[in-house]
Amino acid sequence: MSDAVKLVEIWRGPFLESEHRGHAVVCDDEGQIVASWGNADQIILPRSSCKMLQALPLIESGAADLMGLTTEHLALACASHQGAKIHTTRVAKWLDALGLSDADLRCGTQTPADEDARNQMIKTDDTPCQMHNNCSGKHTGFLTVAKHLGAGPEYVDPAHPVQMAVREAFEDMTGMDSPGFGIDGCSAPNFATSVHGLARAMGKLAGGTGGNDARSLAGARLVAAMARHPELVAGETRACTEMMRTMGGAAVVKTGAEGVFVGILPGPALGIAIKIEDGGTRAAESVMAALLVRLGVAEAQDPMIAKRLNPPLRNRAEIEVGFLRPTEALFAGGARL
């Protein structure tokens, strides 16, 4: 990646042991860059951080309202969930309401990340199904749109009407033609954009509460659903859930694989996009925490923020041996941007 900058440091005793480089952009709701680090034009795959954009056709097509979907359904459509019971039971009921089943999903099976769900499977010698996949909510949303459009069952095909609608929404929100796509871990196409484009889309979502067009209203509904149900968006112990809970709706955040993280700040109408060059989740979380503090929607001392912003490193004997921290250029002591 070109022109990535150091964003996070890992110290062990008096030694700088490792560092994470990457890119970060903060945009307003008109797509203008408020602040940036690294290369704003770096092309990236947003991975699961863009699920809100992929869910826009669910509302815009009329499928969500026709099916009577609730805010829980909308939150799950944007989720990378743990496969806990609160996630899988809701996905199962949603599929049943569509007259469909686990076999209609195309996301693949995944062992649940939720400890209770995983332990229960071990005890009962059960096996995971596709509903345990962290993307099963997104895929059930795709199936809902496909049924509404009368389209075929292979909804992950890039040429399928569902994915064509997703690409149109994605390109409109990012403000640029996508240069292509990669196939995500859940088998759906993941359209590429720049870090600036991803931040621009999040800025538009952040400012959507003030718009009356169908896309702005759809985006606002998705953001509100995520803020209302943070436990459905990720799960217990996860950064997205814990950070959204502690901010009480002041920001919606969503992680993606390979060190991508986005933020939506409705109050100041700002969007954040982060990409860590080496794909490190710990670094993406630290950068997000730093920016949320600098943008005035989080407190550095809040336990759910501090555990990502500047966490201690402990060895196997639970002795504190070092720490992780954002670079001063990024955090600047928490001074407001």
CATH code assigned at 175:
3.40.710
Tokens coding 229: 């149900």
Tokens coding 181: 């796509």
Task: Decide if 120 is inside a domain.
Answer: yes
User: pLDDT tens digits for 25-77?
Assistant: 999 999 999 999 999 999 999 999 999 999 999 999 999 999 999 999 999 99
- Domain tally, the chain: 1
The pLDDT of residue 125: 86
**Structural domain containing residue 129:** 5-324
The pLDDT of residue 335: 77
Question: CA 221 → CA 66, 187, 228, 231, distances in Å?
Answer: 15, 26, 10, 17
Task: Decide if 196 is inside a domain.
Answer: yes
Predicted model pTM: 0.96
The pLDDT of residue 184: 97
Listed in sequence order, the residues at least 6 apart from 13 whose beta carbon sits closer than 8 Å to its beta carbon are: 321, 322
Task: Decide if 331 is inside a domain.
Answer: no
The pLDDT of residue 209: 59
The pLDDT of residue 210: 60
The pLDDT of residue 2: 77
User: pLDDT tens digits for 122-155?
Assistant: 898 899 999 999 999 999 999 999 999 999 999 9
Task: Decide if 132 is inside a domain.
Answer: yes
**What torsion, rounded to 10 degrees, do the Cα atoms 153, 132, 242, 200 define?**
-20
Low-confidence ranges of the chain (pLDDT < 50): none
Task: Decide if 77 is inside a domain.
Answer: yes
Task: Decide if 40 is inside a domain.
Answer: yes
The pLDDT of residue 1: 67
Task: Decide if 238 is inside a domain.
Answer: yes
**What torsion, rounded to 10 degrees, do the Cα atoms 17, 334, 36, 311 define?**
30
- Helix (H) or strand (E) segment spanning residue 11: strand 5-12
Chain-centroid distance of CA 250 in Å reads 16
The pLDDT of residue 132: 97
Cβ(69)–Cβ(148) below 8 Å: no
The pLDDT of residue 3: 92
Task: Decide if 218 is inside a domain.
Answer: yes
